[in-house]
Amino acid sequence: MTGRQLTRTGLAALAAAAVAATVFAVPAQAEERPTVRHAATQQAFDTLVKSGLPGVTGQARDAKGVWKGASGVGNLKTGKARGKDDRFRIGSITKTFVATVLLQLEAEGKLDLDDTVEKHLPGLVTGNGNDGSTITVRQLLNHTSGLYNYTSSPSFTERYFFASGFFENRYTSVAPETWVKEAMTQPPNFTPGARHEYSNTNYILAGLVLEKVTGDSYENQVRKRIVKPLGLTATTAPGDSPRMPKPSGRGYSVLADSPTTVKVYDVTELNPSVAWAAGDMISSAGDLNRFFSALMRGKLIPNEQLKAMKTTVSGYGLGIATDTLGCGVTLWGHGGGIHGSGSSALTTEDGRHTLAYNVNGDWGGDGDPVGAEFCGTKAKKGTSAKGSATLTGTGFNSGFADGFTRR
């Protein structure tokens, strides 16, 4: 396996062919007639499925109400349609929840964004030039710490991105400190604060800081401070549970065992400690819309903390990203990728127009739901499954598994 490389671009094309050839052609789900306002979004969902993804589910909210859409299937074996209210793994959208709790704690005077990691987690970030006394909580949240991304390590790739390793380790529970230690085997990528570079290690540490400050689990703090106050009935931080709550579809991955052939695997069951506070949460499109709308409207953190959250480096703030579409609409939000799942949650700055959606395959496809929903543009061939080219980079879709190279 060593030395063999297979990029996600190549996997995307092979996966689309694999779904069609080895399972069956996936039809677009029969839908009730969409309103004119969201017809382009539904078309974009259908285009994703026609290009080889199993299924899509999503919801949009604006001043005129709520629209739900779906296309394709939630189960390739049975052909069951993708549900409009499905729950799914949200991957790195988890980071926005974690950042929100830490900003609440700052507003309460329980920590400062410019506290060092060493202050809260003494002796954890050290070795090979890594130094927690030179990295702040703020730098964890905006990915300017310089810390190596543990999900990019060759050993992690072998264990979780190759089929043989994945099926051996999928139910294994791993302590978050283990991932920090994995990152510490490598020197930092740059001096803290020098630039932005996405690293899941940052949010493993952010979760540990959160727990140290509160004396409580990260999962319980998210539940207490966000999930319950907003009435998010489909949102959970599942801990070590590998099961998906109902209703939900199956999740499919191409993994990587050969540079020329791809098999589509059912990877629905997964111990989410592989991602923990960097990407383990489960939610629905409706809950994500409610969360991001409340966040941008100042319902979860005071104005001072919201301003800090929206202060960006290379388009990324504190657990949230921003970009302006070609039609002039500025969006805020995040994206997330984890085995068998790719999600996006986006909102206008006033929180009054939101879109969240999920694909239950972890490869790309044609279609642009983001441009369709916010600009009214039709889907175009060659457009990423997760939005415009800018939105799919270090922005909304810097997901848990995004950007890695399979070796």
Short-list 357, 240, 246, CA closest to 292: 357
Identify any residues that bridge with 65 across adjacent strands, giving them in sequence order. 62
Q: In a 10 Å sphere around its CB, with 0-12 CB exposed, 13-18 middle and 19+ buried, how is residue 313 labelled? A: middle
Short-list 97, 239, 90, CA closest to 175: 239
Q: Is the peptide bond before 247 cis (omega within 30 degrees of 0)?
A: yes
Show the beta-strand stretches assigned E in 109-187: 126-127, 130-131
DSSP-assigned letters across all residues of 258-321: -SS----EE-----GGGTGGGT--EEEHHHHHHHHHHHHTTSSS-HHHHHHHT--BTTB-SS-E
Residue 146 φ/ψ, nearest 5 degrees: 85, 0
- Residue 190 is given by DSSP the state S
Q: Do residues 355 and 374 make contact, with C-beta atoms less than 8 angstroms apart? A: yes
Tell me the CA distances in angstroms from 331 to 45, 177, 320, 348, 374, one per residue in order. 20, 34, 10, 5, 9
Q: Do residues 397 and 357 make contact, with C-beta atoms less than 8 angstroms apart? A: no
* H or E element in which residue 20 lies: none
* Both tokens assigned to 279: 């990407």
**Residue 155: active-site member:** no
* 51, 71, 92, 199: the active-site residue: 92
Q: Which residues are catalytic?
A: 92
